[in-house]
Structure 1
Amino acid sequence: MTRVSVYSAALVACVAATAMIVASIATPNWVSYSVTTAQGETFEKHIGLHKSCSNLDAPACRDFPYAELCQAGEERYFCSMWRTVGFMASLAAILCLAGLVGFAVILRGGKYKRETGWPFVGGMLSLVAVVEFVMISIVAYLFENDDQFTVPGWNLDFSWYLSTVSAALCLLAAAGLAVSAYLLPPEEGYEFLEDPLDA
């Protein structure tokens, strides 16, 4: 039987995961490049799901992937995959928000909704985790295999790790809900009344 305390802990994990997803979408720090010259100058480039920022460009940030990158034959694959990751990140954020609504309905619905509602929010959290694990896997694959990242100095950055932690949190929360539903005894179970005839 899933209790209020278990749902509350899962809700906190879901809120944290949602915040991490939104932060990873908003910050251009999925893959970064940093190198320091012999003169002590540091050149940096940070790539996000929708923007690329560099201290070499005239406007510091611009849309990514940019048009000239996607016109080359082999790079069209990279652009398609990168845009897919951006779409999946937005989908994960929407699914997290739907999960938060599910938590609100279940927590306000009483004991019966807590007993029967865990598969919905657990399934939603699992789905978010799957979408995020696919996202981070695609980015890791592109990082390892795309020619533009072969120059030394590139590394997976903060947003990629944030999304990984978010996926793990969702998965742990879903597992916690499922385990508690089967292992914890019912809350406020029925109490047998004393038979007045036996007194």
Structure 2
Amino acid sequence: MDFHLVPRGEDRNYTGFLTKTIVYTASLIVFFVSFGLTVASIVIPKWVTYHDQEPSIYYSYGLHRRCSSVNGQCHPFPQREDCHGSDRYFCSMWRSVGFLMSFAVVLEGMSMVAFLIVLSGGKRLRENGWKVLSLLIILSAVVQAASMALMAYLFDNEKRFFVGWRLDESWIYCTASWCVSLVCAAALILAAQTLPSEGGYELIPDQL
């Protein structure tokens, strides 16, 4: 008995194409939210804050700026004078968090480019692009999780952060960002493992 390759049904092809496109598009939209949270955590100088009601005093530390209600201004941080003696360890760790978050932005940017390439590509990219894409997303999430953990460690062990200081919204943004990224990666992996193929060719026997 001979077999021949014949195209699968057009409806089946279209359904597979539409389903995978919807998954990639929805994941990209959600990932944009994650990217926005990452950028906000870097731009907003509120990783660690202190607020005293009486008298009203407010201090906040961002990755690259330190703000105070005493003079109502923000200044670059850490500066050279902040990194002498025992503070050198703190400065190195703080700058490491800043570097990791910047690296996470680069990885997220690469992920969004990969999203666009997959969406604009053909069947082969939609079928296999999730592997590289999910890897990039997971790497960005791991880098942000490391930044979050490192900042929490500094907050718990640095003597300058006494009672009244707290981890604030930028730290929360970072945490939410990598959690959302992991959800995106999980959705892509799950879709790739469970959704049917877009179609192609199948074997049918010759009629005797």
TM-score normalised according to structure 1 size: 0.89
Q: 1:47 aligns with which of 54, 58, 61?
A: 61
**Cα distance in 2, alignment partners of residues 74 and 185 from structure 1:** 59
Residue correspondence of structure 1 range 8-157 to structure 2 within 5 A: 8-37=25-54, 41-57=55-71, 60-71=73-84, 73-150=85-162, 152-157=163-168
Of 1-10 and 104-113, more deviation after overlay is shown by 1-10
- Structure showing greater radius of gyration is 2
**Cα distance in 1, alignment partners of residues 113 and 91 from structure 2:** 34
**Cα distance in 2, alignment partners of residues 16 and 189 from structure 1:** 35
**Cα distance in 2, alignment partners of residues 121 and 42 from structure 1:** 48
Runs ≥4 in structure 1, deviation > 6 angstroms? none
Equivalent pairs counted in the alignment come to 191
SS of 2:83's equivalent? Answer: helix
**Cα distance in 2, alignment partners of residues 80 and 191 from structure 1:** 59
SS of 2:108's equivalent? Answer: helix
Cα-Cα RMSD: 2.1
Give aligned-pair identity as a percent.
41
SS of 1:129's equivalent? Answer: helix
Q: Counterpart of 2:81 in structure 1: which amino acid?
A: E
Instruction: Quote the residue 2:195 is aligned against.
Output: 184
**Cα distance in 2, alignment partners of residues 62 and 12 from structure 1:** 35
**Cα distance in 2, alignment partners of residues 87 and 31 from structure 1:** 17
Of 153-162 and 11-20, more deviation after overlay is shown by 11-20
TM-score normalised according to structure 2 size: 0.85
Tell me by how many angstroms 1:66 deviates: 2.7
Cα deviation digits, residues 35-80 of structure 1 (max 9, x gap)? 111xxx31001110000011113x6111111322211x22111100
Gaps of 5+ in 2: 1-15
Residue correspondence of structure 1 range 166-181 to structure 2 within 5 A: 166-181=177-192
